Amino acid sequence: MNVHASALAEAHLPDEQTTAFARDALDNLSRRPKRLSPKYFYDAAGSELFEAITQLPEYYPTRTELSILRDRGSEIATIIPNGAALVEFGAGATTKVRLLLKNCEFGAYVPVDISGNFLNAQAVALRKDFPALDVYPVTADFTAPFVLPDTISAMPKVGFFPGSTLGNFEPDEACGFLRSAREFLGEGARMIIGVDLEKDERVLHDAYNDSAGVTARFNLNLLARINRELGGNFDTSAFRHRAIYNSESRRIEMHLISTKAQKVRVLDRSFSFRPGESIHTESSYKYNLERFTALAYRSGWTRRESWTDAERMFSVHALVAG
Ligand code: AVI
């Protein structure tokens, strides 16, 4: 056992997911500028904080996307082939998918998420409310290759990727994800995808700097998670949340800023921070219709239909393969 492996064993979680987290965290904290991947925000504490974010008055995306799915449900249903299998990438709370299930005749629902326990609990509740629907949860990281259940192999496939999670990918990663989803879902596939839109910078700023400080706690939980799972010793009170809109890149950037010169240990490695030094934890890209259409096209999809709310805050699109 090398030093790294023994430190990980001491942290009590030497499973596959923790090993990947350890590898990514050590690698990303060694970069200049330092960074951490937003996919690690979502442990149990982080998922709870994210749920709280979605209820904040300043955080418009969730309620706006829900209103579009609710108001346009019957139009969305017209582009869904009857008996299709709905594959949700990164399934969280079921509120959004329920709106699709209510309006469309799906043959099966396949939620895919890394958090198996949560996924299975949600599947039980859905089976109760939609007894005719076959639900096949798949525990997997949807950004890596995974296998769909054999039982849905003959059904047409519809991908569902709500919440503007696409915005958390760098543009080339977004293109890579859409392209592999297109290949994975096969000929004749459809995709229903939620995408956040460019807008007044003040509105964007407030959505990621809420007055109750929930987004700050969500961001700082990443350091607390490293302490819990990787035996880190971050002093979370010595970092502060910073979210800014980068208008050139058209993205919100979240950072954790070191408030002083300090050294932090993670597993067997030590990292030095200068006062004011940042860890870039998340980018949240905002699109307009033209740039999203071009991205979809480059990735093998044609935009069939788009829906927005009256203030054009958020968009939902129906894509067709090819
Ligand atoms: C999940 N994702 C689309 C959220 C976003 O808006 O980029 C994550 C988030 N970060 C801070 N607040 C919400």
Q: Which tokens belong to 159? A: 């991908």
pLDDT at 93 over 60: yes
107 CA → ligand 1 middle, Å: 31
Q: Which tokens belong to 308? A: 């927005």
SS (H, E, C) 86-103: EEEECCCCCHHHHHHHHH
* Residue 140: C-alpha distances to residues 25, 119, 123 (Å): 20, 10, 15
Handedness of CA 249, 255, 259, 260 (dihedral sign): negative
284 CA → ligand 1 middle, Å: 7
| Averaged pLDDT, 179-205 | 97
pLDDT at 10: 47
Ligand 1 atom showing the smallest separation from residue 61 Cα: 6
pLDDT at 14: 53
pLDDT at 65: 98
- The preferred substitution site among 49, 51, 53 for testing ligand 1, maximizing ligand atoms within 8 Å of CB, is 53
Q: Do 230 and 18 touch, CB atoms closer than 8 A?
A: yes
Of 242, 203, 214, the C-alpha closest to 58 is 203
Q: Do 164 and 197 touch, CB atoms closer than 8 A?
A: no
CA angle, residues 32, 37, 40, in degrees to nearest 5: 145
53 CA → ligand 1 middle, Å: 8
Backbone angles phi, psi at 180, to 5 degrees: -75, -30
Q: Which tokens belong to 114? A: 């890394």
Ranges of H-type helices in 81-151: 95-103, 116-129
Between 271 and 15, residue with greater pLDDT: 271
Q: Which residues line ligand 1 (CB under 6 A)?
A: 53, 61, 163-165, 167-168, 208, 215, 282, 284
**Local structure of 142: helix, strand or coil:** coil
| Averaged pLDDT, 139-154 | 92
Q: Identify the weakest region by mean pLDDT among 56-65, 91-100, 273-282.
A: 91-100
DSSP letter (8 states) at residue 298: H
Ligand 1 atom showing the smallest separation from residue 282 Cα: 10
211 CA → ligand 1 middle, Å: 16
Q: Which tokens belong to 272? A: 């030095």
- For 240-252, how does the pLDDT look when each residue is reduced to its tens digit (9 = 90+)? 999 999 999 999 9
pLDDT at 15: 81
Cα–Cα dist 292/288, whole Å: 6
| Averaged pLDDT, 135-144 | 92
Ligand 1 atom showing the smallest separation from residue 252 Cα: 7
pLDDT classification of 9: cutoffs 50, 70, 90: very low
- Of the chain, the percentage scoring pLDDT greater than 90 comes to 89
Q: Identify the weakest region by mean pLDDT among 12-16, 167-171, 172-176, 302-306.
A: 12-16
Q: Mean of the per-residue pLDDT values for the chain?
A: 94
pLDDT at 12: 47
Nearest CA to ligand 1 atom 3: 165
Handedness of CA 221, 223, 224, 229 (dihedral sign): positive
Burial class (CB in 10 A: 0-12, 13-18, 19+), 144: exposed
Cα–Cα dist 144/37, whole Å: 15
pLDDT classification of 114: cutoffs 50, 70, 90: confident
- State the pTM of this model: 0.93
Q: Identify the weakest region by mean pLDDT among 11-20, 146-155, 202-211.
A: 11-20
Nearest CA to ligand 1 atom 6: 284
Cα–Cα dist 232/268, whole Å: 9
